[in-house]
Structure 1
């Protein structure tokens, strides 16, 4: 099953907005983006400064000091969706933009970007949350679980005929924020693993010591299990895809080296157990994210 994915972030200061725009327009280092493909990204507004100015122009003079000034939307779909790279992708992003316009009013959407320099393309939109009374009111759009659930359902319905479904409604799976989403994909391309093998005990059998080493390695690499798995997937994809440039393959090869170092010295059975643990953890995380 492939899923429609929608995430939101509340930006409460112009500093927050500026930081997000810097990432969106790649004016700061963006580890998860391929600089060779960045020119393929599409922005409805040419510069981050212009987006910030458009946001400022929509903000009412009177507002609470802690008000949400802008909602950042991130819209994408499952990496395995067969629509990527086809006319379905174009239609998906077109409908996402229309859905945002219907929900917030076109005048409140200050900028939309489509990123194609990442593994899975996604749309980012900056929306000033003005309600029907003309007031700055983020709560009217994102306030409470019921509204968030309805929003997810409404968007999924808008793209259902493209072969995308909504995550399981009422799921207790933790919702991944935009900040967490970017942290995951950034961290997946820039991580290190340090492992320390336990010392063997007196009269400890080789089999028992092997189990202890395996358990120790799993425990020590657990914080980067998802990152390692993501890199391994990208590495394999790059190896199999003849269209990938040679330097991209070499870069991915270097990034996977920490995993290879971490498992150095283990026999095939022990490595298989480590890989199985990583695979199971990755599937668990993927299921939780898809259900959110």
Structure 2
């Protein structure tokens, strides 16, 4: 049995969006992608910066601090499907694009990409969840489990004549989230992230806002935090070792730069808390490594 596959992930910060786009446009190392086939990928928008700008242009000025800014869709089919590499593949992605446009409105789609440099081709789309009243409303787009399930059924019905069917409804099979998938395949080595500070609430205390900033920074650097400590140590070693080549130092500096940007503007206590998280994660890695030995 060959299945139509549809997954979604909610992106709540511009940092999350930027990280996703960097992967989508292969601006970071993607271990499961064949660089020789990357030119075969197709993007409806030329650059990740243009997609990010389109998302920002669509966002309303007034929105909740924790609002979902964008929904990332991943649409594909079973690896064994006989349609890959022929006319059915083109038809599948054409229908997927049309389905998304009709479902959420073409004006809300900031960009779509088709990846053909991986073992099973896939479509990735960035949708800004703006409802008919002009508000960010992810719940209206995805709803709860029942609404998401119905959406998966609707999409499967749109491609059923291509030899695809919907997965079993109500199945308890666990699927890897897009965020976890990206994290795993890149081995937590993506250091090209930016930190987007949250907006303060009206009459919010300075202490409360400080806590929110710390949480936001930690959340946004989480995909790289497991590798940060070792790289920071290498960076410091390169800085003090006068025998290290200039290019090696510059390379390390570039890799650690996002960490420095992410903590810029924080006071010493706040930076210490971020570093504490990094050290704890590094300790966990060391413990696991010892177990393997």
TM-score (norm 2): 0.62
- What are the equivalent positions in structure 2 for 1:91-102 lying under 5 Å apart? 91-102=91-102
Q: Displacement, 1:174?
A: 2.0
Match of 1:154 in 2: 154
Instruction: Name the SS of the counterpart of 1:131 in structure 2.
Output: coil
CA deviation map 1:252-291 (0-9, x unaligned) = xxxxxxxxxxxxxxxxxxxxxxxxxxxxxxxxxxxxxxxx
> Quick one: distance in 2 between partners of 1:72 and 1:20?
9
Match of 1:3 in 2: 3
Answer whether contact 1:5 1:75 (CA < 8 A) is retained: yes
Answer whether contact 1:7 1:176 (CA < 8 A) is retained: no
Answer whether contact 2:74 2:123 (CA < 8 A) is retained: yes
> Quick one: distance in 2 between partners of 1:181 and 1:3?
19
- What are the equivalent positions in structure 2 for 1:75-224 lying under 5 Å apart? 75-183=75-183
> Quick one: distance in 1 between partners of 2:139 and 2:183?
26
Q: Displacement, 1:97?
A: 0.3
> Quick one: distance in 2 between partners of 1:95 and 1:138?
23
> Quick one: distance in 2 between partners of 1:63 and 1:23?
27
> Quick one: distance in 2 between partners of 1:163 and 1:184?
31
Specify the structure having the higher radius of gyration (Cα): 1
Match of 2:49 in 1: 49
Aligned length: 187
- What are the equivalent positions in structure 2 for 1:8-23 lying under 5 Å apart? 8-23=8-23
> Quick one: distance in 1 between partners of 2:184 and 2:158?
27
Answer whether contact 1:44 1:111 (CA < 8 A) is retained: yes
CA deviation map 1:198-251 (0-9, x unaligned) = xxxxxxxxxxxxxxxxxxxxxxxxxxxxxxxxxxxxxxxxxxxxxxxxxxxxxx
Q: Displacement, 1:133?
A: 1.9
Unaligned residue ranges in structure 1 (runs of 5+): 188-292
Answer whether contact 1:42 1:114 (CA < 8 A) is retained: yes
Match of 1:65 in 2: 65
Instruction: Name the SS of the counterpart of 2:63 in structure 1.
Output: coil
Relative to structure 1, the CA distance from residue 77 to residue 184 in structure 2 (aligned partners, 3 Å threshold; closer, same or farther) is farther
Answer whether contact 1:129 1:136 (CA < 8 A) is retained: yes
> Quick one: distance in 2 between partners of 1:29 and 1:176?
20
Q: Displacement, 1:142?
A: 1.5
Relative to structure 1, the CA distance from residue 29 to residue 15 in structure 2 (aligned partners, 3 Å threshold; closer, same or farther) is same
Match of 1:74 in 2: 74
Answer whether contact 2:29 2:186 (CA < 8 A) is retained: no
Instruction: Name the SS of the counterpart of 2:101 in structure 1.
Output: helix
Unaligned residue ranges in structure 2 (runs of 5+): 188-293
Instruction: Name the SS of the counterpart of 1:171 in structure 2.
Output: coil
CA deviation map 1:26-82 (0-9, x unaligned) = 011111110011011000000000000000000001100000000000000000000
Relative to structure 1, the CA distance from residue 73 to residue 84 in structure 2 (aligned partners, 3 Å threshold; closer, same or farther) is same
Instruction: Name the SS of the counterpart of 2:75 in structure 1.
Output: strand
Answer whether contact 2:83 2:89 (CA < 8 A) is retained: yes
CA deviation map 1:101-159 (0-9, x unaligned) = 01110011000000000000000000000112221100111221111110110000000
Answer whether contact 1:74 1:125 (CA < 8 A) is retained: yes
